[in-house]
Structure 1
Amino acid sequence: MNLFSKIKKSINVKFVLAFLSIGIIPIMVTSTLIYQSSREELITKEEMLLGVQAESTVQGMEEWLVKRLDEISIISQSNAIRSEHLEDTLQLMNTVKAQDPTYETVVFTGAEGIVEAHTTEEHIGVLDLSDRDYFQEGMAGDQNMSSVLTSNATGNRIVVVATPVNDSSGNRLGVMSASVNFEALIEQFLLNTSNANSHTVFIDDQDIIQSHPNEDLVGLHITEANLESDLMTLFESRSEESGTSIVQANGEESLVAHASIPTAGYSIYFFTPMNVVLAGAETVKWTSIIIMIIASVIISGLALIIARNISRPIRKLQVMFKTLPKGI
């Protein structure tokens, strides 16, 4: 290759590289900044939306449970319950149960822990609830909500709301309680909020997983579920304060919003994969890449045209020198 060809090639290459540097580097920097900005904005927006969803869900669940606790508290103060007349007590309890299909049973347990009135009448005088925490807390004078239990009467998962029953002198007669169908609670507040891109986890006050997309984990203690370290740390923290975090779960990063029901000690977690959260940012990234490719082609073409115009005089000199007689 002669000197003029080398010069021509050098000019073409340098022009293309120079134009690409001037044109593409600013596009790359701008695209990176736009991508990072959109990524952070999407995460912030999703944190807010998911946090609001978690808080509104636990608020709705708590109101749902408190409403039933209030109903039981009201009937516990009625003369029919305090009179200890079984027929009047059963009539009132069956009326309350019939008004709300989520009630599985309504029960009055005497001070010794033996059931004295029950909407499933075969348990009267037979069923001993003295070992149940909700009964013991009720006898101590506290209204309470139980852990998720299995009903002795129906075999279904239930939450029990319980309140103490006192006579007119303030003496403790026993505990009034009602079992609420747990599946109805989950169906109303969790199943209807989940979608193909997210899922929820419900953990009760005993650290038992009560709702999870993997049904094999339902009923297990969190220490028995072989969870990833990020999830274990999240579940073990059990903060009463709502919040959001990013965790590694099932081989992918997920954004998690969590909130608790203080009166019952339950915790709810809403998971959304980060690739779903950042779908908009990925669109921005690939659009930027396509723009850079198109820009590179256009800039390279323009650079070659300009380089050829500049190298044209060099080619003329090359021809002229070739036509000169040798030896001059």
Structure 2
Amino acid sequence: MFKMLNKSLRVRITILSFIAIIIIQLIFIFGTYIIYGRYVIKNSLDTLSITTNETSILLERIIASYIKPLNSISNIPYINLMEWEEQLELIDRNFEGFYDEIAMVDIEGHAKYFDGTVLDLSDRIYIQKALMGQSAISEMLISRKTGEPVIVAAVPIVDSYEDVVGAILGRLEMASLFEDIKTTGLKQSSQRFIISSGGSVIYSEMGGTWFKDHNFEDELRDFIHNESNNAYGVKIQNYENENYYILYSQIGDYQWGLYNVISEYNMLQPVRNLLYYSLLFSFIFSLFIMIFTYIAIRQASRPIHELDQLMLRGSEGDFSVRAKFNRQDEIGRLGNSFNVLMDRIKSLTYFDVDTSLPNAIVFEEDYHILINTEHNKDKMGLMMIEVDELINTKNKRSDIYATIIEKVVKRLKLFVPANSVLYKYTDNAFAILIPDTMNIITSEFEEKISNFLEDFEEKKSLDNHFVVSIGYSFMMDNPSYIDLINAAMAATKYAKKDNHSSIKRFSETMLDELNYDSEMRLSIARAIREKQFYLLYQPIVALGSQKVVKTEALIRWKHPDKGLIMPDEFIPIAETTALIIDIDYYVIEAACQLLRSRQIHNLKLFPISINITSKTLEQDDFISKLEYILMNYQVNPCNIEIEITERVVMNNFNKNIETLLNLRKMGIKISLDDFGIGYSSLSYLSKIPLDFVKIDKSFIEAITDNKMAEQVIKSIIQMCENMSLSVIAEGIESIDEAIFLLNNTCLYGQGYLFSKPQSIEDLKFEFDVL
């Protein structure tokens, strides 16, 4: 049941509707019960009050009928002579059987009965009233003869002077009175009592102890006392959390009162009966409404249920499902929206958003289909094309990313072999799945790719410097190496080692090198943690004075097992990961530590040139971190130089230029290393904020036997002078090279002619080699 409540919308709506209807009906029914109940109570009390008054009048007449014969006796001639014996026969003859017993009372209150008994009744209230000239009735008494309850009526006897000379009384059994009272029965659920002013219960339909049983005695006595002078009254009494209404009406002048007692429970019995029937009807009606609602909702929600099933199938990967609702209402529009959504989901699931190319999911499906097809198994080929910095361009320069990715895809499609498919494999990588490589002539295939790479290189912009690494593998390359995907990816990684756009075909030897690189990366990370790196310093000399003007910090690695490892072995590997950033910061901090130490010991300070790679330079927090290190070691920025290569600058040209400008504002000088072998050097040189240009050692080595190299060097020196840049010649190993450079106004030199990289303790600051 609870699972249905959780899953079925129609059941939930039906039950909620049922609950809502029940609540509304209950509020209405109980509200009506309260309002109608109050009305019934008021109406019942009004009716009972009228009936009580009418009944008291009727009882007054009944009592008057009891007294009337006595009035007749009191009016018999000569009765006022009070001669009992003479009147006895007359009284007995005329009133025999009406009263149980008749007596004549003298003025002293002595009563004489038929049987001759004489009793002193002077202390009786009803006798006193009669002797005072009033007709009176006693409270309920017990007969001295029969032991049954009786009442006594007394009527005064007056003489001709209207003076009371005695009284005549008649005794009547209560049974006769009860029979007469019963003939005045009320059509109400009430209990009647006749109670004297003295508190005696003359008549009760519930027994004489009812008030005592209900703890009403004290309240009744107070009520009788308070209402004794009133013709009628009403009292509410609570007993056991139930209200009882007591209605009172005086019976003539006889000091008797008629009391009608009715409980609120009895008055509300008809209302309760109506409530029970209403609740039963409400439940049946609500049940009917619930069934009707469920059927109606089921019918109306059938399309929603169908749509829910379609969504379930869609969530399980079946993106071919479509809603078929031939309706123009909200359900129809919902179905249309669902179809549009499924088309969009299918597109997003199977196709790349930026290129509309099938994505890695489609690639995996197609790959497994082909790899499991016996006809294609030995003919398959796979090419992976990875474009470095493509995702960074998307994140940082989304305004030009769309144009760039469109051009990249357009060029890639130019060399996709027939029957092959181009995929967007990852954010930076594309894949070409080749079902049949037998018809591909490798030389022509690679020529097309080379043309693509050349075209790509020619169209590099100042904002983006992309390196395209292509690796491909054919099944025929290594039948035992079944994982074609890993083979192509391995070739791609191998191509990235060239640090420029290149293409590599998979061979098993690549795996050894890649495994070596992987192990080397782990060792580099460990070396950083265990501080296995250290710095050597190679002086840069003023060729004229042969004095050291600054040094270049060069990192070395003392491996615990392999011994000394040179930078050209581990730096290229570190550059493929973020490890190079940690190495760069290590060099910066070690150089600053040295400068701080020499400052503390009052030793000669000299600028230190530090090589920075592109990954570090492009970090958003590079400037702030460098400032922190300089401040922490109290190093003057003028004693630090940053040395970069053209490739470093070109990776993200505009951003890097901004960073270099900020470095110069700090007072740090900038050197351009390996000048002459990079990317269109002369065209970009004027845009880079530089202080020094270092001529690559390959030009210096060719000075003595290559006139063209000499002309290039002269041109570079002349151009730098025109741009107010100082030139440093790298790799000077002979005096002839140094003299040539000096004669051509090259002011600074660096090389083994002067000094190899050495520890700071072994470093000389003056030379005499020229």
TM range (shorter): 0.7 to 0.9
Aligned equivalent of 1:236: 222
Matched, 1:70 2:64: no
Aligned equivalent of 1:144: 136
Q: Deviations over 1:209-262 (max 9, x none)?
A: 3434564728xxx7xx36425x64245312234345553357754444332324
Give the alignment of 1:298-313 within 5 angstroms. Answer: 298-301=288-291, 302-303=293-294, 305=298, 306-313=300-307
Aligned equivalent of 1:247: 237
Give the alignment of 1:29-68 within 5 angstroms. Answer: 29-68=27-66
Residue 258 of structure 1: which of 240, 248, 260 is its match? 248
Residue 269 of structure 2: which of 276, 279, 302 is its match? 279
Q: Deviations over 1:73-130 (max 9, x none)?
A: 33213223123443441123213432x63x22222111222235x3x2321xx32222
Give the alignment of 1:202-213 within 5 angstroms. Answer: 202-212=194-204
Q: Any conservation in 2 of the 1:162–1:176 contact (CA below 8 Å)?
A: yes
Q: Any conservation in 2 of the 1:76–1:82 contact (CA below 8 Å)?
A: yes
Aligned equivalent of 1:115: 111
| Distance change in 2, residues 1:167/1:216 (3 Å) | closer
Q: Any conservation in 2 of the 1:258–1:270 contact (CA below 8 Å)?
A: yes
| Distance change in 2, residues 1:140/1:211 (3 Å) | closer
| Distance change in 2, residues 1:154/1:167 (3 Å) | farther
Give the SS at the match of 1:270.
strand
Q: CA deviation at 1:164?
A: 2.3
TM-score, normalised relative to structure 1: 0.77
Q: Any conservation in 1 of the 2:236–2:246 contact (CA below 8 Å)?
A: yes
Q: Any conservation in 2 of the 1:58–1:268 contact (CA below 8 Å)?
A: yes
Q: How far, CA to CA, are the matches of 2:62 and 2:243 in structure 1?
A: 33
Q: CA deviation at 1:207?
A: 0.8
Give the alignment of 1:156-175 within 5 angstroms. Answer: 156-175=148-167
Q: How far, CA to CA, are the matches of 2:194 and 2:200 in structure 1?
A: 9
| Distance change in 2, residues 1:128/1:232 (3 Å) | closer
Give the alignment of 1:280-299 within 5 angstroms. Answer: 280-299=270-289
Q: Any conservation in 2 of the 1:16–1:299 contact (CA below 8 Å)?
A: no
Q: How far, CA to CA, are the matches of 1:111 and 1:34 in structure 2?
A: 66
Residue 83 of structure 1: which of 74, 81, 84 is its match? 81
| Distance change in 2, residues 1:20/1:308 (3 Å) | farther
Letter in 2 for 1:284: L
Give the alignment of 1:184-199 within 5 angstroms. Answer: 184-190=176-182, 193=185, 198-199=190-191
Q: Any conservation in 1 of the 2:22–2:283 contact (CA below 8 Å)?
A: no
Give the SS at the match of 2:134.
coil
Q: Any conservation in 1 of the 2:197–2:256 contact (CA below 8 Å)?
A: yes
Q: How far, CA to CA, are the matches of 2:115 and 2:314 in structure 1?
A: 118
CA RMSD of aligned residues (A): 3.6
Q: How far, CA to CA, are the matches of 2:84 and 2:263 in structure 1?
A: 55
| Distance change in 2, residues 1:250/1:184 (3 Å) | farther
Q: Any conservation in 1 of the 2:102–2:171 contact (CA below 8 Å)?
A: yes
Aligned equivalent of 1:131: 123
Q: Deviations over 1:120-141 (max 9, x none)?
A: 2321xx3222222222222223
Give the SS at the match of 2:119.
coil
Give the SS at the match of 1:163.
strand
Q: How far, CA to CA, are the matches of 1:8 and 1:156 in structure 2?
A: 78
Q: How far, CA to CA, are the matches of 2:133 and 2:37 in structure 1?
A: 52
Letter in 2 for 1:316: L
Q: Deviations over 1:154-188 (max 9, x none)?
A: 54322222232222234432122222222211232
Greater mean deviation of Cα atoms: 156-165 or 253-262: 253-262
Q: CA deviation at 1:63?
A: 1.0
| Distance change in 2, residues 1:309/1:35 (3 Å) | farther
Aligned equivalent of 2:319: 324
Q: How far, CA to CA, are the matches of 1:136 and 1:49 in structure 2?
A: 38
Q: How far, CA to CA, are the matches of 1:86 and 1:112 in structure 2?
A: 15
TM-score, normalised relative to structure 2: 0.36
Aligned equivalent of 2:355: none
Q: CA deviation at 1:7?
A: 11
- Percent identity (aligned): 19
Q: Any conservation in 2 of the 1:104–1:179 contact (CA below 8 Å)?
A: yes
Residue 201 of structure 1: which of 188, 193, 200 is its match? 193
Give the SS at the match of 1:112.
coil
Matched, 1:104 2:100: yes
Letter in 1 for 2:101: T
Letter in 2 for 1:312: E
| Distance change in 2, residues 1:241/1:168 (3 Å) | closer
Give the SS at the match of 1:79.
coil
Q: How far, CA to CA, are the matches of 1:278 and 1:25 in structure 2?
A: 23
Give the SS at the match of 1:147.
coil
Q: How far, CA to CA, are the matches of 1:145 and 1:60 in structure 2?
A: 16
Q: Any conservation in 1 of the 2:109–2:127 contact (CA below 8 Å)?
A: yes
Q: CA deviation at 1:204?
A: 1.8
Q: How far, CA to CA, are the matches of 2:168 and 2:184 in structure 1?
A: 31
Q: How far, CA to CA, are the matches of 2:314 and 2:26 in structure 1?
A: 44
Q: Any conservation in 1 of the 2:137–2:151 contact (CA below 8 Å)?
A: yes
Q: How far, CA to CA, are the matches of 2:259 and 2:302 in structure 1?
A: 64
Give the SS at the match of 2:171.
strand
Q: Any conservation in 2 of the 1:162–1:178 contact (CA below 8 Å)?
A: yes
| Distance change in 2, residues 1:215/1:321 (3 Å) | closer
Q: CA deviation at 1:272?
A: 3.7
Q: Any conservation in 2 of the 1:97–1:104 contact (CA below 8 Å)?
A: no
Letter in 1 for 2:261: F
Q: How far, CA to CA, are the matches of 2:6 and 2:145 in structure 1?
A: 94
